[in-house]
Structure 1
Amino acid sequence: MARIPAAERRVELIDAAVLVIAENGVDGATTRRIADRAGAPLATLHYCFASKELLFGAVYERIAAGYREVLTESDVHGDVATTARGLMRGILEWYVAHPEISSAIFELISWAQRQDAAKATGIYDQAGDTVRSILSADAAAAGERVDAATIDRLATAIAALSDGFAINWMVDRSTGKAMDIDLAISMLDAWMAANLADESGAGVDDREHQPAEVSESGGSLASLVSWVDVG
């Protein structure tokens, strides 16, 4: 049997760790379980990673890099509202396609907070920086005047709605019960209609996106997302 290069084996172990963490939590993600899932000898895991903490750190970095990659690929290079929708749809479709990612992320963030509170914010900080950079660049290209504070609040709204979707998806993945992607984006549209129109003059296309759509409880989407207004 051909010897697997160490770099390739590291990737396999990181991928296996994501699955084991998602299934068993950080505490249940033993090195033996991870090695078994990767089809590697336990000694190989210890050769590639001197400690479990270093392995988990590598997993953390892999997920953060995955966020950045998804966001970059989801940049539609439109106006601010169109780009924001594209970024959020890309993230939510990533969660749906890789349900283990959601579970592993929340497990790892809790773990990281216990280890190093500053590191725990790494995924959010890096993803937020990427979102703000994309939105700012696309706003400039589209000739929109959107200040940095509004871009920052929009990035936070995207993160908050995406997190809510991810948790809902983890709990109930049955069709028609879990929050769907279009509903989540409609909630983002409601926020943008209230916060972008006056400043950029672009706003949200009312013909396709109605922020005042009535929910089953009789409220509007605008009221449903009032908690997302971080200003």
Structure 2
Amino acid sequence: MTRMPSADRRRQLTEAAIRAMTRDGVAGTTTRSVTAEAGVSLSVFHYCFDSKQALLESVIATITEHSVAVVKEAIRPRATLRETVRAGFQAYWDHVGANPGEHMLTYELTQYALRHPGFEQLARRQYELYLAAYTELLEHLRREAGFELRIPAEVLARYLAAMTDGLTLNLLVLGGEGAAEILDMIADHVAGLALDQG
């Protein structure tokens, strides 16, 4: 087995856990199945993670990072703030469509955490990560597109996280029909909450 820095090994195990949990569910995924997926020994897992809870937190953070990276790339400044916002939501929508299992896993992780004593704080951490991600994206938009919010960023971040939950479930359950109209409406609404300084 190739020696690898522990941060890289944790990333390898986390990505393997995402694949295993997407395929087998959270409850059906064991440390053994994660190590088999990653092609490493069980001792490597225990060197990198001290508990299943630590692994789940890493999974939640990594899935959030996947979505944020896609959206951040898409929201480079365009002619109008609305077009920039629309591009970000289109990128997110496309990511959900291309990775439905990963996005279904986020809901399963929330339910798992809320239903298993001792894991409840993972659901809270999950949503704190969502709020931090939206706050980061709003700051990125402010810097890149030059706008001020009409409402506090923390309030808008929480609203966007709640709205994105619904948007994601809508796509997972009903499919992509009517996507353009939904995304147009969201872009109009979100852009209307900002003052474009461009």
With normalisation by structure 2, the TM-score equals: 0.76
| Greater helix fraction, Structure 1 or Structure 2 | 2
Q: Contact (CA 8 Å) 2:96, 2:168: kept in 1 or not?
A: yes
| CA distance, structure 2, for counterparts of residue 194 and residue 55 of structure 1 | 37
Structure 1 unaligned runs (5+)? 173-177, 202-231
Alignment correspondent of 1:107: 108
The runs of at least 4 consecutive aligned structure 1 residues that moved more than 4 Å come to: 149-155, 191-201
With normalisation by structure 1, the TM-score equals: 0.67
Q: Contact (CA 8 Å) 1:88, 1:185: kept in 2 or not?
A: no
Letter in 1 for 2:111: S
Deviation at 1:86, TM superposition (A): 0.9
Q: Contact (CA 8 Å) 2:25, 2:105: kept in 1 or not?
A: yes
Q: Which structure's relative contact order is higher, taking Cα pairs within 8 Å and 6+ residues apart?
A: 2
* Structure number, greater radius of gyration: 1
Greater Cα shift, 189-198 or 118-127: 189-198
Q: Contact (CA 8 Å) 1:88, 1:158: kept in 2 or not?
A: no
| Percent identical residues | 24
Alignment correspondent of 1:147: 150
Q: Number of paired residues? A: 190
Q: 2:140 aligned with 1:134, yes or no?
A: yes
Q: Give the root-mean-square deviation of aligned CA atoms.
A: 3.3
| CA distance, structure 2, for counterparts of residue 193 and residue 71 of structure 1 | 17
Greater Cα shift, 42-51 or 116-125: 116-125
| CA distance, structure 2, for counterparts of residue 195 and residue 14 of structure 1 | 33
1:1-231 pair list within 5 angstroms: 2-5=1-4, 6-78=6-78, 79-113=80-114, 114-116=119-121, 117-138=123-144, 140=146, 147-148=150-151, 153=156, 156=159, 160=163, 162-171=164-173, 178-180=175-177, 183-193=178-188
